[in-house]
Amino acid sequence: MHHLSSTRLNCPHLVMCYCLILALGTGARRFHVSAVFSAKAKVAMSRFEPSSSINYEKLHENINIVRRRLNRPLTLSEKIVYGHLDDPAGQEIDRGRTYLRLRPDRVGMQDATAQMAMLQFISSGLPKVAVPSTIHCDHLIEAQIGGAQDLQRAKEVNQEVYNFLATAAAKYGVGFWKPGSGIIHQIILENYAYPGVMLIGTDSHTPNGGGLGGICIGVGGADAVDVMAGIPWELKCPKVIGVRLTGTLSGWTSPKDVILKVAGILTVKGGTGAIVEYHGPGVDSISCTGMATICNMGAEIGATTSVFPYNHRMKTYLEKTGRGEIGSLADQFKDDLVPDKDCEYDQIIEINLSELKPHINGPFTPDLAHPVSEVGAIAKKSGWPLEVKVGLIGSCTNSSYEDMGRAASLAKQALDKGLKCKAQFTVTPGSEQIRATIERDGYAKILRDVGGVVLANACGPCIGQWDRKDVKKGEKNTIVTSFNRNFTARNDANPATHAFVTSPEIVTALALAGTLNFNPETDYLTTPNGEKFKLEAPTGDELPSRDFDPGQDTYQHPPAESSSVKVDVNPASNRLQLLEPFDKWHGKDLENMRILIKVKGKCTTDHISAAGPWLKFRGHLDNISNNLLIGAVNIENDAVNKVKNQLTGEYGGVPDVARQYKASGVNWVVVGDENYGEGSSREHAALEPRHLGGRAIIVKSFARIHETNLKKQGLLPLTFANPQDYDRIRPDDKISITGLKSLAPGKQLTAEIKHSDGSQESISLNHTFNETQIEWFKAGSALNRMKELQ
């Protein structure tokens, strides 16, 4: 066994940063809360964000420095982002152009991504994290039977990984949320998010925290390592898209419908490089958890994050979750937590909530928006299966108390008429606190009685952790979910499953009806005795009147003294593997590289590094690299995981051919289409091509997080200066990238293309590297560069 112990800091700059920020601890100290909380709740208070660690004065000071410099009104997004600048007086600020150096307040990591993040942090040689950080065990629990059984099985199957994460967290000063505690974003909303916070998380749905007025951004693990190391974190200065809400939500329309509508307007890449900032008089009609739902699914439009202005709904939520002190502090600094009057947005979208109708988006992409009233007719015309096989509610997007209450109100109406769900029905509580509270208040029983199965407090089917048995792979079918993503095969590994995303209320109604061709606002259900009845609009309390039941205490606070803690990684493990540094750039142009695959159409991080059964290898880079691009469509033959080995002329799986190229000393590139790397923040989609010998990814455009992840690992993410040049590249070409010796911000590179018929041509390639990121490339990775600076 390898016993990993801390080593001393050698870089004076890092030592200074580390010592200054370490004083904040893990952000989990006890503080006074309202006496209405039970003794059981107080036991777990150490997990809450303490008001003592929130420095609104510093935020206010930085905002004023920037305001004087820019001499104009500021959006809320700008206030929070610029309020976290490392150098507010000197930082160049130009929305959409300059890179900002920022000091986030804290880091959150889910267990699938935390493995690689902590392995990288261990490799950095630092003894403790420099900012409050937490790990959340939510991704590795497979839905099979029900909550208790599935959780117990997960603890047994994943014991090695959970032990690694628990001991690494204890060793390096990180809070640890045990399996069963809930989904990272719900836990963060309940404990750590607050108005004005800047939080980064190793999951693309980190923007959930924008529902509580924070700038919460999804990143890869290497970015998290930078922040945990006390190094300023880089982000391209975001543009700001304003969504002005008027009117009031009512009836069947829910907060989910707001983002489903916005996704239809902006598409999956329309928010790239921008923060979506909601404002206007309609905001006050949305609950805090409803605002979180809207921000959460903003990841599906490519946005950097989304945010709502501080209001009384947020203060009430803070009070109900034991953080009333923070609400009182926020009141004192409210002007810093709302946009300035007459601030300017780069784009404005107007939505009248009073006119908004329930929506359902899909299949196969989260931006294909349809009003629920029309989806049945569209499905008939398009040949989509009308029968709803399974309805699934919950997930990090829609698992609040209000969500569960509104779904239960519909289930109760059906039960009163003797009716149960025609489709299978699953319920995923967002946290142990939500689970315990809906059990106490009877919602869980109602949902079970109508035919539902209450799953573990975890991601489950939303991320493909679903042992589905009712259909065979390849069988065409329809499911409806309250999740956020519906890419091909995401939920159940079946490419023929037509997955639709909607609100928990609509999922429940469609599960009762058993068909997509059902509009609950106008259509009738039939009871077992033949009676026709129409569901009344759902209702549900925003927050529990009797306060939350915290349930079981599932939080592990890091010990004050951790020198005796051992972090064990067995060299023979097939799930955990210590990292070896990537090779440095050799100082020359990259010549005669092969094309591993020319990807056709949509290529998400699910296509590049599949989840589901592959999640168990997230801590073992070599093993998980066996899923590299196995879901991407090869333009040569319209097949998945079947590419031609240009050295042998034979066809094989993508990772197999990549390994053969690497063994033969042949560098390779991937050629891709628009918005390459859309979806999850998983940095394995960047680590795997680097590990297997890739040097560059050349595409029409990138999703933000994936582009950054590629840079962090020493790869070249490049875009065609002329997108039509994608069509000029043939799968059997050789490509040389020239101009690397003079690589500089804004300076194009050249691709020399050699065709198999002997002809040659040149095309121009763009990149977005800044000076710091160029040093990552030269060093071989950002982690290598960090070590050089120690």
Catalytic residue IDs: 138-139, 203, 485, 680, 682
Cα dihedral across residues 212, 215, 220, 225: positive or negative: negative
| Amino acid present at 153 | R
Euclidean distance between CA atoms 460 and 177, whole angstroms: 17
Scanning the structure block, which residue is given the tokens 């007459």?
A: 342
Euclidean distance between CA atoms 192 and 134, whole angstroms: 10
What letters, b where the CB count within 10 A reaches 16 and e where it falls short, cover 220-257? bbbbbbbbbbbbbbbbbbbbbbbbbbebebeebbbbbb
Per-residue tokens: 51: 């008001």
Scanning the structure block, which residue is given the tokens 């319209």?
A: 638
Q: Strand 106-110 vs strand 239-246: parallel, antiparallel, or unpaired?
A: unpaired
Reference 618, options 164, 58, 134; nearest CA is: 164
Segment holding 234, helix H or strand E: strand 233-236
Segment holding 147, helix H or strand E: helix 147-157
Euclidean distance between CA atoms 595 and 645, whole angstroms: 9
Euclidean distance between CA atoms 641 and 596, whole angstroms: 11
Task: Indicate left, alpha or beta for 761 from its phi (over 0: left) and psi (-120 to 50: alpha).
Answer: beta
Q: Is residue 348 classed exposed, middle or buried when 0-12, 13-18 and 19+ CB atoms within 10 A define those classes?
A: exposed
Per-residue tokens: 244: 């002005």
Euclidean distance between CA atoms 391 and 512, whole angstroms: 9
Q: At CA 297, angle to CA 293 and CA 301, rounded to 5?
A: 150
DSSP secondary structure of 547-601: -----S--EEPPPS--TT--EEE-TT-SSB-PPPPPPPP-SS-EEEEEEEEEB-S
Euclidean distance between CA atoms 740 and 696, whole angstroms: 12
Q: H helices of 208-323, where?
A: 221-228, 255-266, 288-296, 312-320
Cβ atoms of 163 and 619 closer than 8 Å: no
**3-class state of residue 398 by DSSP:** strand
Task: Indicate left, alpha or beta for 432 from its phi (over 0: left) and psi (-120 to 50: alpha).
Answer: alpha
